[in-house]
Amino acid sequence: MIKIKFCGISHIEDAIVASNYADLIGVVTDPISPRFVKPEFIDIVKNFVNKPVVNVKVKGKINDIVNESKAEYVQIHRVLDMEEIEDILSYNKKFILYVPSSEKYYSYFKTIVNKTNHLILIDSEKKGEKVNLEVSKIWIKEYDKVGIGGGITLNNIEEFLSLNPYWIDISSGIEKYKSKKDHDKMIRIAEKVKEWKSIL
Ligand SMILES: O=C(O)c1ccccc1N[C@@H]1O[C@H](COP(=O)(O)O)[C@@H](O)[C@H]1O
């Protein structure tokens, strides 16, 4: 079954619902985000959930991000330079590495695939825009750990599932308002993913 990451969790009650319906729980600890919470929130969340937590960060040194919480995964939501890619190889930590969905990042995508064994997240080049599905379709076929995010909602999720990604990543599409999750949307999205498996 296609795995689910519910991201941008900033309330304990949302984390509990995410834990019941998703495989990964994303918490954004970068002040750039309207869903920002302090890294300490992750350590609190971990007392209430039984699924791995992902610390999502855009800026900052990799070493600082790795050590700032007890999250099982670190998602670096920016394009890394070569030195940083080499650096992540030295950590005994699970990473999610963001690749913008544009042909111009194909060689970057291949570098990550060839050098690391981590999960990849294909997302839109600019936050708030929809991911490029044509590019994503090709890359998903090339590497088995590719997930897709970027504008997934209850109304368009089938388009994403039809690409057969390893996992999907959803944040704004399951919100009531910015930073607060809509539990009904979370449950309905999870049901759609489950039903999708039974169609195949
Ligand atoms: O969600 C955020 O606020 C965020 C901020 C900065 C970097 C990444 C962020 N979120 C990531 O983007 C995907 C897709 O989000 P959406 O579903 O399009 O809203 C999300 O799942 C996070 O991994």
- Complex confidence, ipTM: 0.96
Distance separating alpha carbons of residues 34 and 10, to the nearest angstrom: 10
Both structure tokens of 52: 């791995």
- Identity of the amino acid at 41: F
Q: Indicate the pTM of the whole model.
A: 0.96
Closest by Cα among 50, 146, 38 to 97: 146
CB 151 less than 6 A from any atom of ligand 1: yes
pLDDT in tens, the chain (200 residues): 999 999 999 999 999 999 999 999 999 999 999 999 999 999 999 999 999 999 999 999 999 999 999 999 999 999 999 999 999 999 999 999 999 999 999 999 999 999 999 999 999 999 888 899 999 999 999 999 999 999 999 999 999 999 999 999 999 999 999 999 999 999 999 999 999 965 55
Q: What domains lie within the chain, and their CATH numbers?
A: 3-199 (3.20.20.70)
Distance separating alpha carbons of residues 62 and 83, to the nearest angstrom: 11
Both structure tokens of 31: 């002040």
Mutate which of 9, 171, 181, 182 for ligand 1 pocket (most atoms within 8 A of beta carbon): 171
Contact 167, 159 (CB under 8 A): no
Tally the residues of the chain. Answer: 200
Nearest-atom number in ligand 1 for the CA of 128 is 18
